Structure formats: structure tokens, C-alpha cells
Amino acid sequence: MSEVYEGLKNVVEQVKETCAKVGRDPDEVCLVAVSKTKPADMIREAYAAGVRDFGENKVQELCDKMERLPQDIRWHMIGHLQRNKVKFIVGKVALIHSVDSMRLAAEISRLAVLNNVEQDILIEVNVGGEATKFGLSTEETIQFVKEAAKLPNIHIKGLMTSAPYVEDSKENLPIFHKMKELAVDISKENIDNVSMNILSMGMSQDFVAAIQEGSTMIRVGSKIFGQRYYFNQGEQM
Ligand SMILES: *Cc1c(COP(=O)(O)O)cnc(C)c1O
């Protein structure tokens, strides 16, 4: 068995175990395999094992892989997105997780209209309030969603967050909890063109904690594909 297959199997088992523990249906939790920096061959292995959702954080890399890999893959843009790169992915990716400014939302909308496509998006929230992270504060999110919901050809499907790096993933439980509460609060507003079905939270280190608190989409990289190697080690953007 390949390493990718092993990793994937372990993650899927952990998802099932966690769901059983907290009384959730594992089908409610979508696994996005984060393939950034990893070669197409490894993606094909995960694809052969049944994975159809893949996440990338760089537009260029995402587009290269999109061209070379099967057409039925649902690509997720999970990294910080610059407005001048929206044109390369709008209408082509299943979901943009990282919408964190009105200017970006407006640009996605403008290009979606221009190309006559619809684009699903998530709003990125910096629940932990870390200075180094992208995302809106929890306080400003509801107002932002109300405004962005008015833009044509984009559809807000939920929220995304990246929790802080911690030794013990239990430390992130309050963050995931706060995120779920925020989504519930927004749902109660019944805003047109907004659903809060997707809570994109939980990575290799803390997807178990995230599922316990209601995550419906986990973004798992290294636990499936192995460690990533960067020239510049440290926080990856
Ligand atoms: C890299 C990345 C992940 C996956 O990280 P792992 O720790 O390898 O699971 C998830 N979300 C975002 C936004 C990322 O950039």
C-alpha cells in the first residue's frame, strides 16, 4: 500500500471514529485533501482511492494541476487570494475559502458576471485573532456577510478559519466552538443568497477537535501526503 493510501485511510478512520463519538454522520464531513507542493502523481493516488476534493493555496500551482488532472476533481482555493489572480480561477474552482475583504468579493463577483459563471465562496474568519493570519474578526463578519450577499453571481456557503498552531489540539476547541456559534448567529439572520452549511475548519493537527465542534469540511494535507518541505521553513501562506 502506498503512503498516500495509508495516510488517507487513517484520516478517514479518525473522521468516522470522531463522528461516532459525538453522534454525527460522517457523510456530513467533507474531506478536502490539501495537495499544495505535492506532485500530480500523489494526487492521482488519492483520486484512485476515491478523493475528489483537493485544496491548493497558490493560483499558479492550482491552475497547472487543474489542467493535468481529471476533470471531475473539485478544486478548492484555500490560500490568500490576490485580486489580480481571480481571473484565473473564477468559475473553475468549486469553492474559494479565503474571501476576507469586500474588494476581493466584489472582484470575484465582477468577473463571475463578466464570464457568465457562478462562484461559491466562504468567508474567512480570524477567530483566534492572530495578528499573522488573514480573515475578518468575528465582530465584523455578520455585517460583511450582509453586504457581500448582495453581490451578483457569488454565493456565500459558509465560513472558513485556520486555528492557531498548538501543541494539544484540544486548545483549539474554544475557537471551533466560537466559529460554529458565529455560523448559527448568521443563519438566524436569514440573509438572502447566504447559507451557513459549510464550516471549513480543522487541519492535520486539529481536525478531530474541529469535527467535535461541528466542522463540515476539513482541510488535511500532511496527514495524507506527508510533510511539506519549504525553502523558507515556518508559517506557510
Ligand atoms: C496547508 C493548509 C492546510 C493543510 O495543512 P496540514 O497541516 O498539512 O493539514 C489547511 N488549510 C490551509 C489554509 C492551508 O494553507
Q: What span, in angstroms and rounded, lies between the C-alpha atoms of 207 and 211? A: 6
Alpha helices in the chain (DSSP H): 3-22, 40-48, 59-68, 86-89, 102-114, 138-148, 173-188, 207-212, 222-225
**Helix, strand and coil in the chain, % to nearest 5:** 45, 20, 40
Q: Using a 6 Å cutoff on CB, does residue 133 contact ligand 1?
A: no
The pLDDT, as a whole number, for residue 230 is 73
The pLDDT, as a whole number, for residue 232 is 55
Q: Using a 6 Å cutoff on CB, does residue 221 contact ligand 1?
A: yes
Q: Using a 6 Å cutoff on CB, does residue 8 contact ligand 1?
A: no
The pLDDT, as a whole number, for residue 237 is 44
Output the residue whose Cα is nearest ligand 1's atom 4. 221
DSSP state of 136: B
The pLDDT, as a whole number, for residue 225 is 97
Cell of residue 120, nine digits: 461559491
Q: What span, in angstroms and rounded, lies between the C-alpha atoms of 145 and 141? A: 6
Q: Which residues of the chain register pLDDT less than 50?
A: 233, 235-237
Distance (angstroms) between ligand 1 centre and the Cα of 220 equals: 6
Q: For ligand 1, what atom is nearest to the CA of residue 236?
A: 15
Q: Using a 6 Å cutoff on CB, does residue 76 contact ligand 1?
A: no
The pLDDT, as a whole number, for residue 231 is 63
Distance (angstroms) between ligand 1 centre and the Cα of 56 equals: 9
Pocket test residue of 32, 51, 57, 77 for ligand 1, highest count of atoms within 8 A of CB: 57
pLDDT tens for each residue of 53-83 = 999 999 999 999 999 999 999 999 999 999 9
Output the residue whose Cα is nearest ligand 1's atom 13. 78
